[in-house]
Amino acid sequence: MSNDHDHANVAKTSRPSSAWRAYIPAILSFVLLLGGIAIDQLAPKFFLPEWKRFVWYALAYVPVGLPVLVKAVKAIAKGDVFSEFFLMSLATTGAFFIQEYPEGVAVMLFYAVGELFQDAAVDRAKRNIQALLDVRPDTALVMRDGVTVETPAAEVKVGDTIRIRVGDRVPLDGTLLSDKASFDTAALTGESVPRTLAMDATVLAGMIATDKVVDIRVAKPFGESSLARILDLVQNAAKSKSPTELFIRRFARIYTPIVVALAIGIVLVPMLIVDPYVFNTWLYRALIFLVISCPCALVISIPLGYFGGIGAASRKGILLKGGNYLDVLTKVNTIVMDKTGTLTEGVFAVQEVKPGVGFTSDQVLGVVKAMEAHSTHPIAQAVMKHPQGAAVGEATAVEEISGHGMRGTVQAKVVLVGNAKLLRKFKVTYPPEVDGIEDTIVVCAIGGVYAGYLTVADRIKADAKETIATLNAQGIRDIVMLSGDKTSITQRVAATIGVTKAFGDLLPEDKVTRMHAVKNDPTAVVAFVGDGINDAPVLALSDVGIAMGGMGSDAAIETADVVLQNDKPSAIAEAIRIGKATKRVVTQNIVLAFGVKAIVLVLGAGGLATLWEAVFADVGVALLAILNASRMR
């Protein structure tokens, strides 16, 4: 069947109101074919003289056969002699030559119906992806002097403020100006649960405001939004062919001329060795051979299988930059992961508050929050976001001591907030166990007396431990974690989630060195998963690079081969599962096509199969393969 569907744009769809018209020629041909067969059986004298029978079946043939004959001529004019159109034209005109009119019409009719079903399957796969992703509004409500002005999204400038009403999609990437709001992120992440974002959080094009009207300051032009990048990735994914697809294409180019040569041999060779030799008998067998050998099922169902895999992954927020990466994912046996932002949230949060003797948790938190309100450090922000405790008044005379922390006055008492070095600097005595704490720590002294400490750490993602267990169950033999964080913290996170190999205190160049060490094993097929700018070199080194796309850096996303929009580690295992499912469907189609064709080819060459069996071996198997490919979810 036709193989030029790959080059169609993903956005191409058929109008439902006119789609049925494509079936009119096939319906007309089918009615005439049935009528002709009925007359042959019930009133054969109607077809006398014989030319009436020829004209009847020729009229049945033309609606479905003429377009194929025209395509065959055009293909030959372009130098593509041995196309599927040529095979079908040769087989059916040959059938007319030996007066097997019904079979000639039937072969072309079922071929045409197969083409229509194939087109429908491909268009449906493309529409599924397009409906999932093409959600960019063409206009935006831009705030001008306190009034909203509807403006083409492509004309909105960085820095403009746009208003999003409840139920509206965000047209451009930006920063949330409203206090807090919930957004449906399903189009980007595949997640059905709305995500609540706070002021200054990043809002991405394609999200839907769900609870209230919000204002957003535009951060990127329309063409550079995250959604624009996703659409570009998916629309171009089909252009990167898998090794299996490329092999089938090369195979078909060599295979088809061989088939034609063998068909000619089936007609001519028996002339030398068979007595009596009946030309029409051997021509009929050659025609069966031609119809059976048409590589339709392979040429369309294999690309469709990969397209289905790309679509299934997209629905789950996994974006592949080509079908070839589905193949690579099935072979991955080693996964190297970044820690921060990949297996952990990449967001600091207060883990524990430990007051000193004579103090309470609320006292320590209240004083620390009063001081940290004067800092923009990520740790200070983590403390301020902690739900417990409230700042006790306003800190005054706040002085920042580089590398140590801050000194100030709260409620008329001198307060120290920082690390243990700060307390030592001001000769404040504190328990010795404070120096042995591995987490990031914020210690506090009030009025020259040690008041306690709180620990701040990056949270492990909820599905990180489950992901490692799933990957091990999928047959991944080595999982390695790399981090620029302290080795002690890296090792503890690794032990918590079940990773056996972990390395900390790594600079970007150290990660590259570690990746080279992993790839020194010639049997290792390596996937690297990361999210930061410093991960880009390692992503490029891996056999397949996987980036956290929700909040990952542009450099990592551009370098990666697979992008996980929901930032969940569990999507890694899901991507591998989809890759293996796609490979399984494609393999089933190859075995089905070759198996059935081989059996019917032998039967046809021996005179035990008719053109009707040949039709099934070609069009029937193609339809079964297309249906199998359409199972991808």
Task: Cite the active site residues.
Answer: 338
Q: What contacts 24+ positions apart, CB below 8 Å, involve 555-559?
A: 556/530, 556/531, 556/532, 557/229
Name the phi and psi angles at 503, rounded to 5.
Answer: -135, 130
Q: Are strands 526-530 and 334-338 parallel, antiparallel or unpaired?
A: parallel
Token pair for residue 304? 């469709």
Token pair for residue 588? 């089933």
Residue 196: which of 176, 216, 171, 215 has the closest Cα? Answer: 176
Q: With contact defined as beta carbons under 8 Å apart, do 234 and 133 qualify?
A: yes
Q: Are strands 544-548 and 526-530 parallel, antiparallel or unpaired?
A: parallel
Token pair for residue 330? 């099935």
Q: Are strands 501-503 and 478-482 parallel, antiparallel or unpaired?
A: parallel
Burial environment of residue 403 by CB neighbours within 10 A (0 to 12, 13 to 18, 19 or more): exposed
The sign of the CA dihedral 10, 11, 15, 21 is negative
Interior CA angle at 384 toward 383 and 388, to 5°? Answer: 80
Q: With contact defined as beta carbons under 8 Å apart, do 308 and 630 qualify?
A: yes
Neighbours of 420 (CB within 10 A): 17
Residue type, 138: D
Measured distance CA(537)–CA(534) in Å, rounded: 7
Helix (H, G, I), strand (E, B) or coil at 406: strand
Residue type, 111: Y
Q: Where are the beta strands (DSSP E) in 472-542?
A: 478-482, 501-503, 526-530
Q: Provide the β-strand partners of residue 443.
A: 418, 453
Measured distance CA(294)–CA(549) in Å, rounded: 43
Q: With contact defined as beta carbons under 8 Å apart, do 347 and 458 qualify?
A: yes
Residue 544: which of 328, 244, 350, 314 has the closest Cα? Answer: 328
Name the phi and psi angles at 463, rounded to 5.
Answer: -105, 10
Measured distance CA(624)–CA(611) in Å, rounded: 19
